[in-house]
Amino acid sequence: MGTEIERKFLVREGPWREAAAETYRQGYLSTVKERTVRVRTINGKGYLTIKGISVGASRLEFEYEIPVAEADELLDKLCEKPLIEKNRYTLDHCGLTWEVDKFFGDNEGLIVAEVELQSEDQVFERPDWVAEEVTSDPRYYNANLIRTPYSNW
């Protein structure tokens, strides 16, 4: 069983823009509160991810690599629309990996940072470009951004 412990923050300008970016395209086969099933492509690889309900900053997560052609077909033909499109910038700060997502399309203008932790009470130093924490705000869940895109807030 896999558990993801992740905290999410809004982002200010900073050195994250200088990091290498990967382009993500993702969609959802299920977005019910109790579980989400996500399909994603990143740099020519496909992934299927199943996530449980969030309890605090934790939730169950299972991810499997699938053929990219199958991922593309699922995204194009079965996933809810609109798809999520974003660039992800990855950088280290004080021993932790931070992922900054800059969204496009209906979510243009939204930029969030995520950090995965070993425990919910883990102490960590925030980079100076990290702003307000939004971990508990469901509007920022990618699965919710397809129903209520950032441009409609």
Name the residues annotated as catalytic. 28
Distance CA 143, CA 50 (A): 12
Q: Which residue from 7, 14, 65, 5 is spatially nearest to 39, judged by alpha carbons?
A: 65
Distance CA 48, CA 67 (A): 10
d(CA 64, CA 50): 9
Nearest one of 129, 34, 25 to 84, comparing CA atoms: 25
The CB density around residue 115, as the number of other CB atoms within 10 Å, is 21
CA distance 38 to 16: 26
